[in-house]
Chains A and B, each alone.
Chain A
């Protein structure tokens, strides 16, 4: 697949925004969808729709098989050991909530500690906060340095005999910091502490191998990986899924129900109660095929080139300040323009067809640390090219002109 022409596979780019071509730099929030994914969803509803599970008819059997094919593809894509280790949820947030709730029920008592970091998205903080409220857990935050890297020595110091789990992002959705997960997992495992990784920003952009990382839990969302909304993935080592209690109760997650006793289904159904986003999970297989057709190495090379070009060009613009300078940075670029509020930047850039995000990006802890309430953020997807970056820079210049900045 030719990565240079990949934009043509995304029909949204034929759309005009305020009369301008769309320059989409908000992929950290959610990615656009290629035609193959859109077609797959449409086809399934048109020709193949059925719920999955216990029905005996042909459509149901076919849909069930395809649903399981996606599970197999996900398993291979992130290199899990077994397809039973792949649980479908609503989104990565639900995946993390699943772990926090079930792990908390079984393992957290008053005074136990949960170690997270200053980089975390609210979805990897608030679920743990629930345990602080309901079970009296203590949450500790591993600090970052001025570049936006987690200070590993400080993280080590925060681990105590009370630390029950470490939850950490793989890539920051603000600074783009690529966190050394393997190193953190090694540190944690020497003390028998499990590690949950929020992989939302990593799976669409870098090679993720959960066996190599050796993490205990890994959460991500389909919609950031060129797939449909409504699908989250939780990878968990089988021993955890066998040990932990179920999360949501209802149909499909049971094997036998009696008035005095309920036996839960085996894995992975134990964690998939009720009707799942059947069409979306089946469609997500197309997104994985799309990623594999590009090749993760090609994708990484391309995005790195665009990121470096963007950083280089943005640094030449007066008054633009890039937030964070981590050792390894993904294509997530938070920035400020001195004298212009990020929300004004986003509104004015939108008028030129440039879609960025402004705000705290669900990272108020990180923004407080940076002493900022909001930042502007441009984030790169596989479809972005150097023209997009040129347009971003031009729109920033236009914005500065309005504010009379040199």
Chain B
């Protein structure tokens, strides 16, 4: 996809009016992610119910358009899924962003896949991949209830 097109889609759709922005009511886990190189900062608020289903998922933060859009899309796609499915979606996303153009997942519909695949274009800019993955790694951290901050200079 043309880079400008990618930007246009992401910015217009998510960067400017991010979904699920703010603190959700009754969250029971949170995690913080930070990219010290560009200052991208994301805070994830996760509400898992007793059946381990993602009942609510929101984020707060600031940073480049790619990091904010990625976080916004992520919350949209993962909300409502079981934690098991959520983990599969996260894995599929991280695989796509590193080595493929396709989002391989049985848990998302075509519309959702198309949306998330718009981010695969950042692969050609390795410096920007961390912007796209920050919120996803932070979500893993929230799901595993890790205490320490996710730092893009420490993770892969």
Contacts and interface: CB of A to CB of B under 8 A. Distances in A.
B64 A403 contact: no
B125 A373 contact: no
Contacts of A398: 4
A351 interface: yes
A344 B11 CA distance: 11
A403 B64 CA distance: 12
A373 B127 CA distance: 16
A342 to B, nearest CB: 7
Contact of B7 (A342, A359, A372, A402): A402
Contact of B3 (A342, A347, A358, A404): A347
Q: Is the interface of B mostly helix, strand, loop or mixed?
A: helix
B11 A374 contact: no
A402 B64 contact: no
B7 A343 contact: no
B128 interface: yes
B128 A402 contact: no
A403 B3 contact: no
Contact of A341 (B3, B16, B38): B38
Interface string B1-28: 0011001100110001000000000000
Given A347-B125, A347-B128, A342 B4 contact: no
Interface in A271-312: none
A348 B127 contact: no
B39 A403 contact: no
A164 interface: no
B66 interface: yes
Interface string A385-406: 0000000000000100011100
B66 to A, nearest CB: 7
B3 A359 contact: no
A236 to B, nearest CB: 33
Q: Is the interface of A mostly helix, strand, loop or mixed?
A: mixed
Contacts of B38: 341-343, 358-359, 373-374
A329 interface: no
Given A347-B125, A359-B38, A341 B7 contact: no
A286 B64 CA distance: 42
Contacts of A402: 4, 7-8, 11
A343 B8 contact: no
B131 interface: yes
Contact of A351 (B4, B11, B16, B39): B4
A344 B127 CA distance: 11
Nearest to A341: B64
Contacts of B36: 373
B3 A343 contact: no
A344 B37 contact: no
Interface string B26-51: 00000000001111000000000000
A341 B65 contact: yes
A359 B37 contact: yes
B11 A343 contact: no
Given A359-B38, A402-B11, A343 B64 contact: yes
B63 interface: yes
A360 interface: yes
Contacts of A351: 3-4
Interface in A323-369: 340-344, 347-348, 351, 358-360
Which 10 A-B pairs rank lowest in CB-CB distance, beginning with the nearest? Answer: A373-B39, A341-B64, A343-B64, A351-B3, A344-B64, A374-B38, A344-B65, A343-B38, A402-B7, A402-B8
Interface of B: 3-4, 7-8, 11-12, 16, 36-39, 63-66, 125, 127-128, 131
Interface of A: 18, 340-344, 347-348, 351, 358-360, 372-374, 398, 402-404
27 contacts: A18-B3, A341-B63, A341-B65, A343-B38, A343-B66, A343-B127, A343-B128, A344-B7, A344-B66, A347-B3, A347-B7, A347-B125, A348-B3, A351-B3, A351-B4, A358-B38, A359-B37, A360-B37, A373-B39, A374-B38, A374-B39, A398-B4, A402-B4, A402-B8, A404-B11, A404-B12, A404-B16
